[in-house]
Amino acid sequence: MPRKVTTRTPKEHELSFEDVGALIKQGSAKNIIICAGAGISTSAGIPDFRSPKTGLYHNLKKLNLDYPEQVFDIDFFRRRPEPFYQLAHELYPGNFDPTVTHSFIRLLHNKGLLLRCFTQNIDTLERRAGIPEERLVEAHGSFAGNHCISPKCGTVADADSTEEVIKKQGIPRCKVCKALVKPDIVFFGEGLPEVFFQRMNDFRHADLLIVMGTSLQVQPFASLPDRVKLDCPRLLINLEEVGDFSRTMDVVKLGSCDDTVKELADICGWSEELIELHRKTQSRNKSKQSFDTDSENVGAEGDNKVDASEVVTELVDKLKGTNL
């Protein structure tokens, strides 16, 4: 059942959700920045990190870790890479398809309206939706690349061979120095990608900011919405209110990302385009899936969708009995 979508009632002189749609439809918003979090991927079956009972951190609490985030701690990874790679095996790109929200962001790009998409997600679903790399800022890195973690080496690892090792539940090693190979996702204790800071100037040029599916708890990403000009409209799409969206030009729309972008597309007159684009995206990814996997693992629409929340729970239960 779709989640109920509600909108905070605007005060006098404030924008409404419909006003934001009108800005896009009328061409007043030509440089749109997206700030996206895990909430745009949950309908693909990927759990977010902090949701009670279903988030990754909730399930990882069951492991013998000092704290659940430790699985993404670089020092812990150097000592015990096994928990991370067990998790990576289940969450590796290719197991999930882009959501309607990803397709909406792609549609903004197709129409020449997307200035940049800043994402906290490491799942590469923005890429799989067809959003060009030059329009993306993967603030916390992604599974798209891999490298040797030895400071003396740092060799870029071959993506295909690394993926093959991970999918066989192995631990990839550098072919040059035999040190650990790690996907290019940002662990605690590591710096953010340079491109994150190089693109900060984008916010000065934004004429609409859309923040969706994020708890805005992790800095410095959490401070990004404050970088746009005071007269720049800001739309928050989320299941609950987060951050400080109290400016006159702010709109808060509470509900699922997918349902809300469908509503926004309808206001813009793009409903059919969004449906068709998403259909093509799903078809393209399923075609690639059928090429990469045995035919018996790929069935009708929805048959091969993975619920990673259940997968992670099963994985954690399995790991509890090991000496990792």
Per-position DSSP letters for 288-311, written without gaps between them: HHHHHS-GGG--STTTT---HHHH
Q: What are the residues whose beta carbons fall under 8 Å from the beta carbon of 263, sequence distance 6 or more?
A: 5, 17
What's 35's DSSP letter?
E
The pair of structure tokens assigned to 14 is 């404030």
Strands 250-254 and 234-238: parallel
From the list 58, 109, 140, 278, the catalytic residue is 140
Q: How far is CA 216 from the centre of its chain?
A: 13
Scanning the structure block, which residue is given the tokens 């940049």? 116
The pair of structure tokens assigned to 155 is 């060799």
Strands 208-212 and 181-185: unpaired
Q: What are the residues whose beta carbons fall under 8 Å from the beta carbon of 174, sequence distance 6 or more?
A: 148, 150, 153, 155, 157, 180, 181
CA distance 248 to 50: 29
CA distance 320 to 324: 9
The pair of structure tokens assigned to 22 is 């009108």
Binding site, by residue number, is 38-42, 48-50, 120-123, 148, 153, 174, 177, 214-215, 238-240, 257
| Contact between 249 and 228 (Cβ < 8 Å) | no
How many Cβ atoms from other residues are within 10 Å of residue 53's Cβ? 9
How many Cβ atoms from other residues are within 10 Å of residue 25's Cβ? 14
Reply yes or no on whether 89 is catalytic.
no
What's 44's DSSP letter?
G
Please count the CA atoms within 13 angstroms of the CA of 113 that sit on its side-chain side.
21
Binding site for NAD(+), by residue number, is 38-42, 48-50, 120-123, 214-215, 238-240, 257
Binding site for Zn(2+), by residue number, is 148, 153, 174, 177
Q: Which residues are catalytic?
A: 140
